[in-house]
Copies of this chain bind each other. A is one copy, B any other.
Amino acid sequence: MIVIDVPDPDHDAELAFWRGVTGEKLDVVARHPEYHGAKLGGQEFWMLIQRLGEGPARVHVDIHTDDMDAELARLEALGATRVHSTEDWWVMRDPAGLLFCVVPDPPGVLTGDNAQRWD
C-alpha cells in the first residue's frame, strides 16, 4: 500500500488530483477519517491520501501482516527500527531514515469492518 501524506491546506486539492489520476472515488476510511483511499483497479494494491496535522507532504509505504509481532521482529532483524505505535499499527524507520507503517491484515482497520479488531 502506498500512502500520500498531505498537510491540511493542500489536502483537498491533492485528494481531488489523485481521484482524477486513478479514476477511483477514494472514499473516506470510516474508522480513520484522516484517510481516503481505494484499492486500485484490478490490483491488490491500495492508495491512501492522509490529511496531516503538521509536517511536509511525503509518500510512504505500508506493509501488511497477519502476524504483527513476527513481522516487527523480522523487520527489525532486517534493519528497521520502531518509532511509535498507534492503536492499530506501528510506525517504523528504514535504513535510509524513511518512515513506513506496519498494518494488521486483513485490514478491518481500513474497511471499518468490525469483525476484525486488534484493540
Contacts and interface: CB of A to CB of B under 8 A. Distances in A.
A58 B14 CA distance: 18
Contacts of A14: 94-96
B79 A13 contact: yes
Interface in A61-81: 61, 63, 75, 78-80
A10 B59 contact: no
Most buried by B among A16, A45, A59, A79: A59
Interface size class of A (residues with CB under 8 A): 20 to 34
A17 B95 contact: yes
A15 to B, nearest CB: 9
Contact of A96 (B2, B42, B57, B97): B57
Nearest to A47: B61
A25 to B, nearest CB: 15
Interface of A: 2, 4, 6-7, 10-11, 13-14, 16-18, 20-21, 42-45, 57-61, 63, 75, 78-80, 94-98
